[in-house]
């Protein structure tokens, strides 16, 4: 989190004890956060490098915004249920853009025979 030390103190958050269990728990949380951030960075690179994925993302954002605007006409604030999220996800166009991006990445890897590509 991007907090100053002062903001952290004022938040009332408590630090864990220095017990082996708490240290293990914090280490697990840190590893999970690192994995999430790594996946987010990989996704960001894919969006930045691939026009088809970027276009699909823009299209999907428009669909979600329209859905939320409709909902907000009826409700003061929109909270989507799990069922609504699932139904909305079926309307989003990811598969073809993602398949194209992965195919392009795989083709590039075959041409370059790069060791970096083994991670793709």
4-27 per-position pLDDT tens digit: 778 877 888 787 889 999 999 999
Number of domains the chain is built from:
2
Assess whether 69 and 29 both reside in one domain. no
pTM recorded for the entire structure: 0.51
Same domain, 67 and 102: yes
In a domain, 22, yes or no: yes
8 within a domain of the structure (yes/no): no
pLDDT digits (tens, 9 = 90+) for 65-92: 888 888 777 766 667 778 877 777 777 7
Nearest one of 56, 74, 120, 36 to 112, comparing CA atoms: 120
Give the end-to-end CA distance of the chain in Å, rounded to a whole number.
28
Sign of the dihedral defined by the CA atoms of residues 38, 40, 42, 48, in that order: negative
């Amino acid at each position: 989190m991007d907090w100053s030390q002062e903001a952290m103190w004022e938040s009332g958050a408590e630090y864990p004890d220095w017990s082996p269990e708490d240290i293990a728990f914090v280490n697990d949380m840190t590893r999970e956060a690192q994995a999430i951030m790594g996946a987010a960075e990989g996704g960001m690179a894919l969006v930045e490098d691939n026009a088809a994925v970027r276009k699909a993302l823009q299209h999907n954002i428009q669909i979600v915004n329209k859905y939320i605007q409709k909902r907000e006409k009826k409700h003061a604030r929109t909270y989507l249920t799990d069922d609504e999220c699932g139904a909305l996800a079926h309307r989003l166009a990811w598969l073809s853009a993602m398949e194209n991006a992965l195919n392009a990445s795989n083709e590039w890897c075959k041409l370059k025979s790069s060791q970096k590509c083994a991670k793709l």
